[in-house]
């Protein structure tokens, strides 16, 4: 059963959804999300260092005592068109896992449609390899659109013959921009933030005319053979529940080691609410345990 605090997380998402109507102007959507992020103050015992990661703006988020030889490449969500670099949430992830995280400020649509985000993610991946992380432990992680971008980046890295990451972590991933998942309809009344009309608008901006089933845009349709172990976390109150389930199914069919965790009653990317939500903290602990097995 969800905790008592879960109702607060759902309410915050409902209030945010009011700024994310498919009829809302893009600048208003972005402003609404920025107001949301302003509610969450990043931990003070974490250092934040701007860096140029292969030509892409990024920021190192480093908790005290972090293992310098290992890193998470973190790809934020926001439908590929808005959202900050998620400082507060990723700082908590870094603190819980004991790993420093590189938060990537990849280019956003519609100003920069796909594959700009993937190009930037791959550039940062190459940069991290150059810094030696492929030999010591590189993890690619992301939430929502960033979860889909995580898989696309791992696929692209394999296609280019780059050293593989140690693991991938997908939090409430959006993997199917063709939006064929049954839970887009069956969970519509439960999900407080992600609706089909909203996703349709975001996909239009991001795709820029590209095929919604193109593997670089919708990794659900990609060849997933040879990917590193994946941890997929998703809430049962999400319209994107089927995106996560089908990703797990297709990855397993391709021989990938997959850990799928479904969290009862949790909304989209409930990890944002780690300052008060027990399930968010538990999900991060689950992530830490998964990565400890892969990184040692």
> Catalytic site residues?
144, 238, 268
Name the burial class of residue 227, with classes exposed (0-12), middle (13-18) and buried (19+) by CB atoms within 10 angstroms of its CB: buried
Four-CA torsion 13, 102, 66, 129, nearest 10 degrees? 140
Give the bridge partners for 100, in sequence order.
71
Specify the 3-state DSSP secondary structure of 255.
coil
| Residue 66: closest CA among 106, 35, 94 | 94
CA atoms within 13 A on the CB side of 63: 22
Within a 10 A sphere around the Cβ of 198, how many other Cβ atoms?
18
């Amino acid at each position: 059963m969800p905790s008592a605090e879960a109702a607060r997380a759902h309410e915050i998402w409902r209030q945010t959804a009011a700024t994310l109507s498919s009829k809302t102007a893009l600048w208003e959507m972005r402003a609404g999300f920025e107001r949301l992020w302003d509610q969450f103050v990043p931990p003070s015992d974490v250092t934040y260092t701007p860096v140029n990661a292969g030509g892409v703006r990024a920021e190192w988020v480093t908790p005290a005592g972090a293992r310098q030889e290992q890193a998470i490449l973190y790809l934020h969500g926001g439908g590929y068109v808005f959202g900050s670099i998620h400082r507060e949430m990723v700082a908590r992830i870094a603190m819980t896992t004991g790993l420093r995280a590189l938060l990537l400020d990849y280019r956003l649509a519609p100003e920069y449609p796909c594959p700009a985000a993937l190009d930037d993610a791959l550039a940062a991946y190459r940069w991290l390899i150059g810094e030696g992380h492929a030999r010591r432990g590189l993890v690619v992680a992301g939430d929502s659109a960033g979860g889909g971008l995580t898989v696309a980046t791992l696929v692209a890295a394999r296609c280019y013959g780059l050293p593989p990451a140690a693991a991938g972590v997908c939090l409430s991933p959006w993997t199917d921009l063709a939006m064929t998942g049954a839970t887009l309809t069956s969970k519509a009344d439960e999900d407080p933030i992600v609706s089909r009309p909203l996703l349709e608008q975001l996909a239009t901006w991001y795709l820029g005319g590209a095929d919604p089933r193109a593997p670089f845009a919708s990794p659900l349709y990609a060849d997933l053979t040879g990917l590193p172990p994946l941890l997929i976390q998703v809430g049962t109150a999400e319209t994107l529940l089927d995106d996560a389930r089908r990703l797990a199914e297709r990855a397993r069919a391709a021989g990938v080691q997959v850990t799928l965790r479904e969290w009862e009653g949790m909304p989209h990317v409930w990890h944002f609410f780690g300052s008060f939500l027990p399930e968010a903290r538990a999900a991060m602990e689950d992530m830490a345990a998964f990565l400890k097995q892969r990184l040692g």
